[in-house]
Amino acid sequence: MTNLLLISAFFLSGLLGIIVIPNILLVSHKKKLFDIPDARKVHNTPVPRLGGLAFFPAILITVFVIDAIGMFPVFGMEVRDLIKTQTFLFLFAGMTILYLTGEVDDLVGLGYRYKFVIQTIAAVLIVLSGTYMHSFAGLFGIEEVPAWLGIAASIFIIIYITNAINLIDGIDGLASGLSIISLLTLTALLIMHSSFTYILLAIATLGILCVFWFYNVFGNARKGHKLFMGDTGSLTLGFILSFLVLHICQADNTASAVTNNWKIIVALSSLLVPLFDVVRVSLHRIRKHRNPFLPDKNHIHHKLMRAGMTRVRSVLITIIAIDVFFIVFNAVLADKINSTILLLIDITIYTAIHIVINYFIRKNNGGPSYIPVEELAKSEPELAKELGLDKTQGADQSVILNDSEESGSSVILNGSEESEKDK
């Protein structure tokens, strides 16, 4: 009966998405609430960026409805205890704060300092609920940790994961696709040692996310069927993922230390690509004397495109394949070798991947960056005139600018429908 409830949760959440998302598209087009193409973005058609508005309501309704149904005696589920109720009240309070913050940012813009403060407040709400790390899974030789250290580490992890999902949201289907992979992994781990309500939260998130992913990847922007999740969606997703990871990081008294450590490592491995990408990009910006909190085009998806992957879906499949590799690789080795050594191996592999990507970027003379023809006509009128381009041509075309230091600037006209958001 429990399985029936969880399956129902997936379809209920998905159904809510099917109902809500078309209405978000309708309102966005009526009110012209678009992510407008500019010189730093690849998509060349205005696209609504409020898809994330559907996430929180769909998840909240699904969790409460299915959890309430599960309390009926016919399902044989035990009555929810007070501690769990308090934990989820803190979770939903934090989600509400981030949901509203993301909405403000998507509509009018919000500075990264304000978002950081609000993320910290939301993270504190989670640890106040009693959800924080009890162990470092043997990393650097550290097993169980005192409460103060576990709380500090947990606040950092919540902010880290939330921003990692936000920053990896750079091409169609990437943030949502990686989140789907992570949620599937976390659901499997939760089934091994956790309670119904946590599994329900993961399944409810999966339901709405799968519907959004379909619109985001396969929707036609010119027909008004495509939308982005925006900060509203990415902040909500990152917060839920961090909460589930932290719950798994809490020791299961019925399992051995080895099993607990294995679960922690696999849970974090499900997010390894976005987590590593944030560190690499931040270090790159610092090395170039740039603000690490301001956007650029050095994320892994940008680099793969500069390396010669001209189709966004090829980039998407490649990154998801890398993510799945790390999950399987770490799941196989986590209970066989020291977690510190395993982390060093992961870093080595990830570095090797970027060395290969950098090789192809150099081979591709630095690779292309993209700018809509209309934007080129505005920002570089002389270059546009020299190339014979004007605004009337740019309705469905973009220009590929090769801006590498080695090769100078060249321009290619590109009519691709592929889209990318810059983060």
**Domain boundaries defined on the chain:** 2-273, 368-414
| Measured distance CA(165)–CA(206) in Å, rounded | 15
| Measured distance CA(332)–CA(334) in Å, rounded | 6
Asked if residue 261 belongs to a known ligand binding site, the reply is no
pLDDT of residue 416: 36
Say whether 110 sits in a helix, a strand or coil. Answer: coil
Q: What is the mean pLDDT of residues 109-116?
A: 90
**Are the beta carbons of 221 and 398 closer than 8 angstroms?**
no
Q: What is the mean pLDDT of residues 43-56?
A: 83
**Are the beta carbons of 165 and 310 closer than 8 angstroms?**
no
pLDDT of residue 195: 76
Q: What is the mean pLDDT of residues 114-130?
A: 95
Asked if residue 346 belongs to a known ligand binding site, the reply is no
Please give the biggest Cα pair distance in the chain.
76
Q: Which residues contact 189 (CB under 8 A, 6 or more apart)?
A: 248, 263, 266, 267
279 pLDDT exceeds 70? Answer: yes
11 pLDDT exceeds 70? Answer: yes
* Residue closest to 423 by CA, chosen among 234, 155, 253: 234
- pLDDT tens profile 185-213: 999 999 987 678 899 999 999 999 999 99
81 pLDDT exceeds 70? Answer: no
pLDDT of residue 194: 67
pLDDT of residue 415: 37
pLDDT of residue 52: 93
In the block, residue with structure tokens 């020291």: 338
* Band of pLDDT at residue 414, cut at 50, 70 and 90: very low
405 pLDDT exceeds 50? Answer: no
pLDDT of residue 308: 87
Say whether 74 sits in a helix, a strand or coil. Answer: helix
* Band of pLDDT at residue 77, cut at 50, 70 and 90: low
Average pLDDT, the chain: 83
Distant-in-sequence contacts of 20-27, Cβ < 8 A, 24+ apart: 20/53, 20/54, 20/57, 20/58, 21/51, 21/54, 21/211, 21/212, 21/215, 21/227, 24/48, 24/50, 24/51, 24/53, 24/54, 24/227, 25/215, 25/224, 25/225, 25/227
